[in-house]
Amino acid sequence: MTTNQYGLDPVLAIDFDQEVERITQRMREILSQDLHRRGFVIAMSGGIDSSVCAALAVKALGPKKVFGLLMPEKDSSSTSGDLGKLLAEHLGIEYTVDNIAAPLEAIGCYQWRDDAIRQVFPEYTTGWKNKIVIAGGIDGQINHYNIVVENPEGERFEEMLPLKAYLTIVAATNHKQRIRKTLEYFHADRLNYAVIGTPNRLEYDQGFFVKNGDGSADIKPISHLYKSQVYAMAKHLGLPDPICNSTPTTDTYSLEQGQDEFYFALPYKKMDIAVWCYNHGKSAAELAEKIDITEEQANFVYQDIKAKRKTTRYLHLEPQMIEKVEL
Amino acid sequence: MSQVATNTEQLLRTFILENYLFTDDESKLNNSDSFLDTGILDSMGILELIYFLDEELSIKVESNEMIPSNLDSIDNLMAFIAKKTA
């Protein structure tokens, strides 16, 4: 793979000055003409997407009209909180830290999840860690999911998750994104601000978000940008190095978990190229050559892209009505 | 086709018709219809189908068997089940 400015593959190269100008101009227009709100609320995980969105919001309106939220819970890494604070201070915005462990505990998030894990590992208890990993897509199989647990001695065990346990674990952990969104809208309502959603193009395209959780927002400023472009944008905007160099994680499970382990068939740099090639009608052979995988694997990746679009289409749908109601 | 196979086929057809097409109209499902291509099932639906095979027919699908050619239509399922139970 040959690379360009900021290490980008040439097909993803864009003029970042122009792009920042275009996005921030649209953010102001949308805020004044469509949303009629006077600022932005942004939840900051310390990850690259929310960091770039926060920086763009500050570019669009200035630091006084952007309110940041850090919402750690029991399974958050301490790094994400540190990076969130680092960014808020770098941008000079007002922010608050709301720990959401107590509300999550109260609605049974951890209990439901742990009970479901115990269907597979009955010995799982306090002090153990967990994560879900995806399997199948790159091998041409139907995507399915394994649970990985680690005991306090550091021993790891992995088993395929039965469907009901998988669904329950995901449903329970989705509380995290939904509680966060509730708080974002609380602050947005009290300030008369709009809520920023932070998906990048890969996440938006492949449905990697929680409906009515992180998928909910008033504006999504980077949903057209591939993940590599978001990283490049972070560098272009001069964000602190620890943020620019952070690896994408879900920050949802207690064991460290890359997004490609949980959801995508490939690491993000290759996944970006795969989706770009798919969108531009490139053959599996062309994709294979570009990202150094076999043609068979490239075919499987294309099938996986299609399957994920299909399976997650419902996440994008607004409530369906029996007939259109004119407003 | 043996009586057991006929019953299995009907069980699978009823499962799909009742749970994904919400009908008892047998004409809505051809045995050769690809569940994924026609949109009857998505990949989560296939996982539900795998669960059904285990619960109702005691057929365990291993991860290397989770491929569309085994699971993506009534015809494919019947061939897969015949192979597993041979």
B36 contact residues in A (CB cutoff 8 A) = 307, 310
Q: What is the pLDDT of residue B1?
A: 67
Retrieve residue B59's tokens: 């057929």
DSSP B44: H
Mean pLDDT in order along chain A per 10 residues (327 residues) = 75 96 98 97 95 98 98 87 93 97 97 96 94 81 89 94 93 97 98 98 95 97 97 96 84 74 82 96 96 93 90 92 94
Q: What is the pLDDT of residue A27?
A: 98
Question: Searching chain A, which residue's CA lies closest to the CA of residue B47?
Answer: A163
Decide if A130 contacts A149 (C-beta within 8 A): yes
Q: What is the pLDDT of residue B3?
A: 77
Separation in Å, CA of B3 to nearest CA in chain A: 30
Which of B12, B18, B3 is closest to B80 using CA atoms?
A: B12
Retrieve residue A56's tokens: 């763009």
ipTM of the complex: 0.84
Q: What is the pLDDT of residue A81?
A: 82
CB contact under 8 A, A163 and B64: no
Q: Which residues partner with A150 through β-bridges?
A: A129, A156
Q: What stretch of H or E contains B63?
A: none
Residues B7 and B9: their CA atoms lie apart, in Å, by 5
Q: In this structure, are strands A94-97 and A129-135 parallel, antiparallel, or unpaired?
A: unpaired
Distances (CA, A) of A18 to A23, A168, A228, A236, A272: 9, 45, 17, 12, 21
What residues in chain B have per-residue pLDDT under 50?
none
Decide if A88 contacts A113 (C-beta within 8 A): no
Separation in Å, CA of B2 to nearest CA in chain A: 30
Tell me the domain boundaries of chain B.
3-85
Retrieve residue A122's tokens: 């009955």
Q: Report residue B32: phi and psi, to 5°.
A: -95, -5
Question: CA A152, A158, A164, A166 torsion: positive or negative?
Answer: positive
Distances (CA, A) of A124 to A114, A117, A145, A159: 8, 7, 18, 13
Please provide the size of chain B in residues: 86
| B39, B42, B67 ranked by CB distance to A141: nearest | B67
Looking at chain A, the domain(s) classified CATH 3.40.50.620 span 5-106+173-263
CB contact under 8 A, A307 and B44: no
Decide if A239 contacts A87 (C-beta within 8 A): yes
- Quick check: B4 contacting A, CB < 8 Å? no
Q: What is the pLDDT of residue A250?
A: 65
Domain topology for A5-106+173-263: Rossmann fold (3.40.50)
Q: What is the pLDDT of residue A140?
A: 76
Q: Which residues partner with A145 through β-bridges?
A: A134
Residues near A255 by Cβ (< 8 Å), separated by ≥ 6?
A129, A130, A131, A148, A150
CB atoms within 10 A of CB A23: 21
**Span A42-55, pLDDT tens digits:** 999 999 999 999 99
B62 contact residues in A (CB cutoff 8 A) = none
Q: Which residues partner with A43 through β-bridges?
A: A69
Residues B46 and B67: their CA atoms lie apart, in Å, by 10
A162 contact residues in B (CB cutoff 8 A) = 51
Residues A34 and A28: their CA atoms lie apart, in Å, by 10
Retrieve residue A313's tokens: 């289409």
Q: What stretch of H or E contains A194?
A: strand A194-195
Q: What is the pLDDT of residue B4?
A: 74
Q: What is the pLDDT of residue A49?
A: 96
Decide if B13 contacts B74 (C-beta within 8 A): yes
pTM: 0.91
CB contact under 8 A, A311 and B44: yes
| B36, B39, B63 ranked by CB distance to A135: nearest | B63
Residues near A155 by Cβ (< 8 Å), separated by ≥ 6?
none
Helices B43-57, A295-311: inter-axial angle, 10-degree rounding? 90
Domain topology for B3-85: 1.10.1200
Q: What is the pLDDT of residue A4?
A: 67
